[in-house]
Structure 1
Amino acid sequence: MASTTLFCQDFVQPKEIQPYFDQARTFRNQNKIDLALETLNTAASEAEKNEDVKSLIDSLHELALLYLKIDKEGDTEFYWDRASVLLKDIEYPYGDAMHKYIEAILLYRSKRNFQALFMINEAKQLNNDRNFFNNLILTEAKIYINLEKYESATKNLNSLIVNTDVYEKEYLATQAYLTLAKLNLRTNNLTESAKNGENALALATQNGFLVDIKDANTLLTNVYEKLGLYQKSLVNSQNLVKLKDSIFNVDKIKIEAKTADKIRDDYKTEEIARQEKKIEELTESQNRSEFTTILISSFLIIISLLAVTLYRNNQIKLKTNDLLQTKNKELQIARDGAVQAMEAKTNFLSTVSHELRTPLYAVTGLTHLLLEENPEEHQKEHLKALKFSGDYLLNFINDILHINKIDANKLEPLNMEFNLKKVINEVINSLSQSAKANKTKLILEYDESIPGHLLSDPLKLSQIFMNLIGNAIKFTKGGEVRITTKLLEKNNDQVKIFFEVTDNGIGISKEKQKSIFNGFEQGSIQINREYGGTGLGLTIVKSLLGLFNSKIELESTLGEGSSFSFEIAMTSMEDLPEDFTFETAQKDYDFKNLHLLIVEDNKINQVITKKMLTKKEMTSDIANNGHEAITLAKENVYDAILMDIHMPGISGEEATIEIRKFNQDTPIIALTAISLDDSLESFYAAGCNDVVTKPFKPEVFYQKIGENIFDKKPNSIS
């Protein structure tokens, strides 16, 4: 079941309400339903007393989920309806997401699986709270099982087994093992079913999850009987009898039912009382309005005389409505066609972009190796030209893939602690060579009153700055590019920061300013020929800022320069300790005598990666697929594993999940030509420590290896 206790983007529970939700979740998972009901009922009363509408909505939702747990769907719908009324008058994305989640469970229970999946996806779009997301993918897995989409269900459940949920880590893992065991039983994979069932039983017993202990014993009784292991089946059967006698007895069920009915009836009684009070208020108002009623009666006589005319007009409107409905259907068909065309375009571009990355890895990798082998001077010139072309093509492919991900709603802003000044300086340093080549001066005007520790998405902010500053440098020769940051307002822990990138380059005409943010648009054909580029940089900036609910502003004069500005709201983390450390700067590592495992199915890529390791005096073994990787990881000790994600047979994700079952320590770095459907979240959930996208820059490749081996980098998005 889901929990409302995490700090979600749009609302944080008040401190006086929060402990009730924490306590209720503990009672619920331990099957102390009567205590959980009473706790949530108290939370609802406190929320109503404090006129805290959002906490009241959350209380009603949690009550609805709790009644579902004891199979009282009618009562679930009662509380769900009460929450619906409150949600109509308030903007509360988390509440809307939870509302859709409960509706998805009700649809799933009534075997309307496709509608349930639709509601799950709707809920995902409204909120990215980690605990809530984990509960969504658990329910999604159960729906997939109903639809016999066993591979998708298994992927969801494996990610939950290694989840890092702050609040329900053990409960979610128990549910995942148990659901996986049921899936295995359904597909007649009895050995795996028993294994997962035992894991579920162990976790449930350790944490006092009574319902899961009962379910695990029930399943194992059945599985061991089918395997012919009758002694084990008998043990689980006896456990089940003891459990039912001591815990799941008639008295307990009666107490829970009595508590549930009392809380529901009390709430209904209070609701009736509230409605009667409103009726009394309306009655008093009616007495004061009797004179007005007499006047209204006079008007009714006049209105009656107009009835005939209105009737004839209505007949005309009905005919018009029929025509409008016909046109609406035509518009709907046209819109569906346009959506399908957009999806086809997105899928095509994504496929092409992804497929080009593999041969491009060979081009850039071999070029790097040849440049390292002291080529002749006349060869060096050709190799540098080849490297430039490869880098240009890679940037172009990355831009297309990035635009597709945004268009397909595959990107969401993350929340990570970071230092803004450090992020901007890193971008400036990475572009300093381009500025030097153009004889352009880079100036940073940084407002030191901006908090040193912020919570937002530094990766997407880096992409925004990289595109804006890189663009400004490209179109400014012998001038200056100025980056300005300013703290606009600070309200408790919420801050709003203004950013501006100004140059004195060629500028943009008034006519072109209207279309400059469209894909593949540049100032003119002549500009494209002289300066190069895809024209996608500003499109990406506009799309990324949309994820932050921000807009880009442009001011420019042809021949004088341009100014791009925007504002972003962030959260201040000033209460972090002063010795809090962010990402470390690049280091030089001694790689000599390290031994790595390369997991890669492409022969050319195997050769290139192995040679790149050899250059730094590292040795390596090669696994041609996921199965070989698992075997070699069991039989040998490696300093790190370089894991390709897309392989025939089992994928790199699945191989990583299997390796993590017996090896938690060896760093695993995913090397992948990431596609539109890939999710960095799922890589880390599978157990990867880091991700490097192919084709990659050699310095990035070596840096990631060094960080993960020597600095023991934790599993996180970097």
Structure 2
Amino acid sequence: MSCFLAMLLMFCYSYSQETAPPETSVDLLFKKARDSRNKNKIDLALEYLNAAMDIAAKEKNNKTLIDCYQKFSIIYLKMERFDTAEFYWDRAKSLLKSTSYPYGSGMQKYIEAILAFHNQKNFLAISMLNEAKKLNNDRNLLNNILFFEGEVFLEIERFASAEKNFNSLIVNTDIFEQAYLATNAHLKLGELHIITLDYEDAIYDGEMALKLAQANGFIKEELKANELLTKSNASLGFFEPALTYTNNILKLKDSVFNIEKLLVESQTSDRIQTDFMKEEIERQDTKITELSESKSRSEITAILTSAFLTIISILAVALYRNNQIKLKTNALLQGKNKELQAARDAAVLAMEAKTNFLSTVSHELRTPLYAVTGLTHLLLEENPSENQKEHLNSLKFSGEYLLNFINDILQINKIDAEKLEIHQISFNLKKILSEVINSLQQSAKDNNTKIILKYDESIPQHLLGDPIKLSQVFINLIGNAIKFTKNGEVTVIAKMTEMVKETINIYFEVKDTGIGMDLKQQQNIFDSFEQGSIQINREYGGTGLGLTIVKSLLGLFGSKIELKSELGKGSSFYFDLALKSKDDIVDDILFEITEEEYDLKGLHLLIVEDNKINQVITKKMLDKKEITCDIANNGLEAVAMVRKTEYDGILMDIHMPGISGEEATIEIRKFNRFVPIIALTAISLDDSMESFYAAGCNDVVTKPFKPEIFYRKIGLHMTEKNHPKARTSNTI
């Protein structure tokens, strides 16, 4: 029974129905035992009860002994040691035969109901609970009976009755366990709501239970609340919080619910039970001595037999418990492995859901953003008034900012989804750094900041690595330094620290004289969307993703970004990188790339695009250059139109209903190998540039794009000067 353990947690210390006596040492031990049990410190609870039992035995107080035996029975039931629990319950039963104790009789029926429930005798358990109610009027015990009754109702699917019981305990006024009862009542209500598919209410009760458990140190209830919240959030598709609660479960189990704790509890319980039996043997020995003096041999024989049987029982129990410890240890290890595997699977599912969601959002945002940037460009070319031009430039800036933000999200998403790999390409490091610095000079000029490059000329000219990702690292680091530095300097350092055969270790540093940051800000600065403070975000803007991307990209290189900073005195970001050198490569001839002017007039292109707004914008941009065009609404139309008409080029969207742009390109290449095809697409997480080229595309332009790049790509691939019209017939 999965709900059986929760029921066991609800037993607490209570006074008899008579007027509560002044607090004694036994009362204090009972209180400590109750608190320890509720906080899942079972070994301490057993020690306190054992001490209370010693006092009761010395004072020959049968009522207190009954209380001790019953409390031991409850704890052993919680530990699932039913044989030992029944042993102590039976000891209490024997004393109750000669002791008038209404509270003890009620408690005895309560424990008997638990045992019946354990044996799946649910209606018998309810009957015994009703008898227990009649035998005493102790408020704490009645509350526990009410809770356990709700447990049984839940098991037999009397949900309305169970809900009534648990709701009454949420607002209980129990003087001993008000918070503990309320916590477990919320947990049971959450369990009920999950059964009835009411996940939102389950989340509410789970959160209330978690709050109470954390505030009062109820470790086991905290674990159950996290399990409840994991299940209910996952059922509603809230994978981020579900993953958080799953991680909480793992931390709690690793720190509290472990093999060492199980062994300590088992050893403590075994020792206490063994000591109890030893004391029983000593009592029997005393009786033997007394009977020997009175020559009562028949009783001596009976006592000897009883003592012998007791010793045999101790040995049997010891052997049994050792075997049980081994079995429980193995079961715990197997359970831990299953839990880790389940947690791993849940984490993977949550990560996949987040990745797919962000990928879809970033891709879908590009379509309307293409309309915004495209229309802004067209309006700026239609001679707007100065006021309109100012507004349009602001709109253009906002569109570009949003595009950079989407690109950053997509970049982080690709890293998280492990869809990025480090390529080994030959490159010139100094050239890469110079190009990045040149591209950021305007931003530096706007802040009246000077960029200084300190480059170690002993670094080989030709290195093997991934220049694109390395450029992204420096664009983010240098751009970040410029943003937070006004009227100052940004220094970029590249220094070779070691060379072993073909492996070069290079130290990189980007330092500035900007605003700097304190130790608290430095702790979280590499987290996503973290910029140190709200004030910094408002004053300097930005998304807070740049340094996260840097950290992730350097992780792909096997490197780690480090930071030194002081508030008001600037910051320094530095890292080491191991790269391969290739001295046998011929030096590149450095030259300035000149923008070539292309005559696009008279070209006739095919636009393959399913979005009507994008069709209009792309057509208008072509009209500006006196380029005519036809429009295909999907891939199948495009294939049919290319069969009938000779085009100077095709602008192919990738994501379309029916067959995709890649599939359409493959079909076109079966009968026309020469028509230039440019993939014009809002690239998503699963898209691969390599797959576009493999399908037969000549180039790729991601939407939204800068118009000058768009026109240059058309000129590069589709003008007669660069691509002679050496086309085959419509059949191969």
Q: TM-score, normalised by structure 2?
A: 0.52
2: CA distance, partners of 1:453 / 1:707: 29
1: CA distance, partners of 2:425 / 2:643: 35
Match of 2:665 in 1: 656
Matched, 1:511 2:527: no
Match of 1:337 in 2: 346
Partner deviation per Cα, 1:609-651 (whole Å, 9 max, x = no partner): 1222232333333222212322333344433322110111111
Matched, 1:603 2:612: yes
Equivalent residue in structure 1 for 2:467, among 458, 463, 467: 458
Matched, 1:447 2:456: yes
> Which residues of 2 match residues 429-508 of structure 1 at below 5 A?
429-508=438-517
Match of 2:696 in 1: 687
Q: CA deviation at 1:660?
A: 2.0
The residue type paired with residue 413 of structure 1 is I
| Contact 1:418-1:582 at 8 Å conserved across structures | no
Match of 1:549 in 2: 558
Equivalent residue in structure 1 for 2:629, among 620, 636, 653: 620
CA shift in 2, pair 1:499/1:704, >3 Å: farther
Q: CA deviation at 1:480?
A: 1.3
RMSD between aligned residues: 2.8
2: CA distance, partners of 1:713 / 1:488: 46
| Contact 1:689-1:713 at 8 Å conserved across structures | no
Matched, 1:704 2:718: no
Matched, 1:594 2:610: no
CA shift in 2, pair 1:561/1:711, >3 Å: farther
Equivalent residue in structure 2 for 1:382, among 387, 391, 401: 391
2: CA distance, partners of 1:711 / 1:496: 48
2: CA distance, partners of 1:461 / 1:516: 20
CA shift in 2, pair 1:370/1:585, >3 Å: same
State the secondary structure of the residue aligned to 1:514.
helix
Match of 2:420 in 1: 411
CA shift in 2, pair 1:703/1:620, >3 Å: same
Unaligned runs of 5+ in 1: 1-308
Q: TM-score, normalised by structure 1?
A: 0.53
Partner deviation per Cα, 1:284-322 (whole Å, 9 max, x = no partner): xxxxxxxxxxxxxxxxxxxxxxxxx99986753432232
2: CA distance, partners of 1:482 / 1:406: 28
Match of 1:354 in 2: 363
| Contact 2:516-2:566 at 8 Å conserved across structures | yes
Q: CA deviation at 1:581?
A: 8.1
CA shift in 2, pair 1:335/1:363, >3 Å: same
CA shift in 2, pair 1:425/1:586, >3 Å: farther
Match of 1:37 in 2: none
Q: CA deviation at 1:433?
A: 1.7
> Which residues of 2 match residues 247-258 of structure 1 at below 5 A?
none
Match of 2:12 in 1: none
The residue type paired with residue 579 of structure 2 is M
Instruction: After the TM superposition, list the runs of 4 or more consecutive aligned residues in structure 1 that deviate by more than 4 angstroms.
Output: 309-315, 579-586, 709-714
Matched, 1:373 2:398: no
Matched, 1:645 2:654: yes
CA shift in 2, pair 1:423/1:702, >3 Å: farther
State the secondary structure of the residue aligned to 1:659.
helix
| Contact 1:502-1:562 at 8 Å conserved across structures | yes
Equivalent residue in structure 1 for 2:411, among 399, 402, 407: 402
| Contact 1:596-1:638 at 8 Å conserved across structures | yes
CA shift in 2, pair 1:317/1:348, >3 Å: same
| Contact 2:510-2:574 at 8 Å conserved across structures | yes
1: CA distance, partners of 2:340 / 2:588: 60
Equivalent residue in structure 1 for 2:641, among 632, 636, 640: 632
CA shift in 2, pair 1:596/1:576, >3 Å: farther
Q: CA deviation at 1:414?
A: 1.8
Rg larger for? 2
CA shift in 2, pair 1:615/1:497, >3 Å: farther
2: CA distance, partners of 1:582 / 1:311: 85
2: CA distance, partners of 1:513 / 1:392: 25
2: CA distance, partners of 1:492 / 1:671: 44
| Contact 2:600-2:719 at 8 Å conserved across structures | no
| Contact 1:419-1:582 at 8 Å conserved across structures | no
1: CA distance, partners of 2:690 / 2:432: 22
CA shift in 2, pair 1:494/1:310, >3 Å: farther
Q: CA deviation at 1:709?
A: 4.3
Q: CA deviation at 1:572?
A: 2.3
State the secondary structure of the residue aligned to 1:674.
coil
| Contact 1:479-1:505 at 8 Å conserved across structures | yes
Q: CA deviation at 1:532?
A: 0.9
2: CA distance, partners of 1:491 / 1:310: 63
2: CA distance, partners of 1:395 / 1:578: 34
2: CA distance, partners of 1:566 / 1:323: 44
State the secondary structure of the residue aligned to 1:522.
coil
Equivalent residue in structure 1 for 2:684, among 670, 675, 678: 675
1: CA distance, partners of 2:411 / 2:484: 23
State the secondary structure of the residue aligned to 1:596.
strand
2: CA distance, partners of 1:640 / 1:362: 22
Q: CA deviation at 1:695?
A: 0.8
1: CA distance, partners of 2:586 / 2:319: 73
CA shift in 2, pair 1:605/1:342, >3 Å: same
State the secondary structure of the residue aligned to 1:601.
coil
CA shift in 2, pair 1:320/1:637, >3 Å: same
CA shift in 2, pair 1:327/1:599, >3 Å: same
Equivalent residue in structure 1 for 2:533, among 511, 524, 531: 524
Percent of matched pairs sharing the same residue: 74
Q: CA deviation at 1:432?
A: 1.7
Match of 2:266 in 1: none
CA shift in 2, pair 1:589/1:553, >3 Å: farther
Q: How many residues align?
A: 407
Q: CA deviation at 1:582?
A: 9.7
Q: CA deviation at 1:367?
A: 0.6
The residue type paired with residue 603 of structure 2 is L
Partner deviation per Cα, 1:138-188 (whole Å, 9 max, x = no partner): xxxxxxxxxxxxxxxxxxxxxxxxxxxxxxxxxxxxxxxxxxxxxxxxxxx
1: CA distance, partners of 2:714 / 2:505: 37
2: CA distance, partners of 1:422 / 1:683: 28
Matched, 1:322 2:335: no
2: CA distance, partners of 1:500 / 1:658: 50
Q: CA deviation at 1:452?
A: 2.5
Equivalent residue in structure 2 for 1:537, among 546, 552, 558: 546
1: CA distance, partners of 2:456 / 2:716: 31
Q: CA deviation at 1:711?
A: 11
2: CA distance, partners of 1:481 / 1:571: 28
Equivalent residue in structure 2 for 1:363, among 356, 367, 372: 372
State the secondary structure of the residue aligned to 2:709.
helix
Matched, 1:424 2:430: no
The residue type paired with residue 550 of structure 2 is V
